[in-house]
Chain A
Amino acid sequence: MRSVAIRFAQMLLVLWAVATILFFLFRLMPGDPTLAYIDTTFTAEQQEELMRQFGLDRSLAEQYLLYFANVIQGEFGTSFRSKRPVFTIIFEVLPNTLALTVLSITIAYIFGVLVGAWLAWRRGSIAEAVGIPLVLTLRAAPEFWLGMVLLAIFAFGLGWLPSGGANSAGMQFSSTFDRLTSPDFLRHLILPAATLALYLQGLPLLLMRSNMLDVLQEDYVMMARMKGLPEWRILLLHAARNALLPVVTAFALGLGASVGGNVVVETVFSWPGLGRVLVDAVASSDYPLAQGAFMFIALILIVMNFVADLLYTVLDPRVSHG
């Protein structure tokens, strides 16, 4: 319990530090510091409201304190382009990013764990001699390029799948859940999810393989063989169960990292998600939106880093039953 509390405190420290870095980062941008929140196309009343809300006419220290008060309340100001609250925009696109990330990372990890365990078991075989370089090569490929190749083949070449976006134009849905489970959405999801899954599978595969190779050397695996237990049971319930611990941690870390790392895949497929919102906002100098999207991506990353720590504690009895 004590160690969990320490971990939690460390997480809060990191959150605070990253928010602080973000505050100063957005004062690095060229031009007038009030530009972080105020655009000349705003009405006079809007400008005044934002000046007050973010203390833009006051000292840097006061601005910093106000910034924190606002961040804690999820208040990031108003988007320059759409003139809508940043928070609303982010929550509109978040389901798209989560659907894409969770689906592809789940596929990648299931595939990676199974194939990694299999390659460890078939150590020294042709499957390994071909498989390992292939996986390394896939892992070396830029995500956006994988996406471009898939697009060129399946969307433009064969015309089987849509070339971008999350839904066809003009579609109407009664709820977000309806939209996310519609065949139209799923058809749009296939290519970006496949791209991301292809990119992500290398890590769990290689990690699982090397863990399995270590675990297969352990005495308890030899003992299980001496007990005459069936080979499948030794591989799955003893070797794989132990080898899986670090992979589960990597899954949580990967989930956190890929929400932010999705920027390129979301851009290639014009996927209306958090990463693409960030890229568009930065490109069009929509600072409040960029800041909000960045903070959100960081929040997810940091929380998932913490969850990964916790998961390890829960799953390993050596830690949980200390």
Chain B
Amino acid sequence: MPSLMRALRLPQNDPLAIIGVTIYVVFLLVALFADVLASDPFEILFTEDGNLAANLPPSLAYPLGTTNLGRDIFSQLVIGTRSAFLVGLTAAGAVVALGTIVGLVSGYFGGLTDQILMRLADIALGIPFLPFVIVLAAFLGPQTQNVVLAITVLLWPNTARVIRSQVLTLRERGFVEAARVAGSSDLRIIRVHIAPNIMPLSLLYGSIAIGWAILTEASISFLGFGPSDSISWGGMLQDAYASQALSRGSYYWFIPPGLCIVLVVVAGFFISRGYEEILFPKLKD
């Protein structure tokens, strides 16, 4: 654990950041070994007397009980970890990559390029987020990549704006000017002098974006526009909601997926807070 924290340049004395990383590691392990931990989440279970094992409360055989269709909730929860990470990591990666590139280009080159890119950012921020994701998912088909695409298209401006202002301050520093006078190419200046200085900030936004992406995917799945071919926590909650789990008081069904979402998302927040504390003194100097 300590070496991992060092590798991520995390503050080792910030308890919240340590909790955050621990949560991530645990869920990552669950996602990796999901096949070992869970049985087939789609399998329809029957009791020994041949009846459908529907709406069973938690027991030793089914730690979190069963759904109204006789499926094992625990297995769904474990398998759901995978889609959460799949969506969270790919969407966050795409958002941060796009945002960082736009912010770099906009801040470094300035002028008309900057104007155009920043107006594009205004436009993206003028599009209602969830409605857009819903419409896109409905029109392009309920697949994971469409949800990721919709998230990327709308969430990049936040990262881009922050990176841009950071690049603007970096550009004023002596070493960039010196490199320019010495005849370094723009590409080289960006690669050698600017990019390394904004990477921590990109990572910070990435760890927050993972959370937003997972929340968005869960919302979309809950509304019924999510990927229908895989098990996700949002989809489980939609199942529970639609099959009267609330009125039956089947807390074992709808509490665990929600808690898992909360844990993964808050882990990102905890880590990013730790990051802020080590980053901002450096950014302010």
Contacts and interface: CB of A to CB of B under 8 A. Distances in A.
Interface stretch (A49-57, A58-66, A225-233, A298-306): A298-306
Given A142-B261, A264-B222, A21 B127 contact: yes
Interface string A15-42: 1011001000110111000000000000
Interface string B247-269: 10101001101100111011001
Given A140-B262, A142-B222, A260 B134 contact: no
Interface residues of B, number: 46
B273 to A, nearest CB: 7
B258 to A, nearest CB: 4
Interface in B101-153: 119, 122-123, 125-132, 134-136, 138-140
B151 to A, nearest CB: 14
B contacts with A: majority SS:
helix
Contacts of A282: 134-135, 138, 225
B122 A10 contact: yes
Interface residues of A, number: 51
B219 interface: yes
Interface stretch (A74-82, A108-116, A147-155, A237-245): A147-155
B128 A260 contact: yes
A18 B132 CA distance: 11
A235 to B, nearest CB: 24
Interface in A158-186: 163
A257 interface: yes
B134 A278 contact: yes
Interface stretch (A131-139, A216-224, A314-322): A131-139
A261 interface: yes
B223 interface: yes
B223 A149 contact: no
Interface string B225-249: 1000000001001001100001101
Q: Which 6 residue pairs of A and B lie closest in terms of their CB atoms, listed nearest first?
A: A260-B128, A140-B265, A145-B258, A140-B266, A14-B126, A17-B123
Given A132-B16, A143-B219, A268-B241, 12 more contacts: A14-B122, A15-B126, A28-B139, A137-B262, A139-B269, A140-B263, A142-B234, A142-B258, A260-B128, A263-B134, A264-B219, A279-B223
Interface of B: 16, 119, 122-123, 125-132, 134-136, 138-140, 211, 215, 218-219, 222-225, 234, 237, 240-241, 246-247, 249, 251, 254-255, 257-258, 261-263, 265-266, 269-270, 273
Interface of A: 10, 13-15, 17-18, 21, 25-26, 28-30, 132-133, 136-137, 139-145, 148-149, 151-152, 155-157, 163, 257, 260-261, 263-264, 267-268, 275, 278-279, 282-283, 290, 293-294, 297-298, 301-302, 305
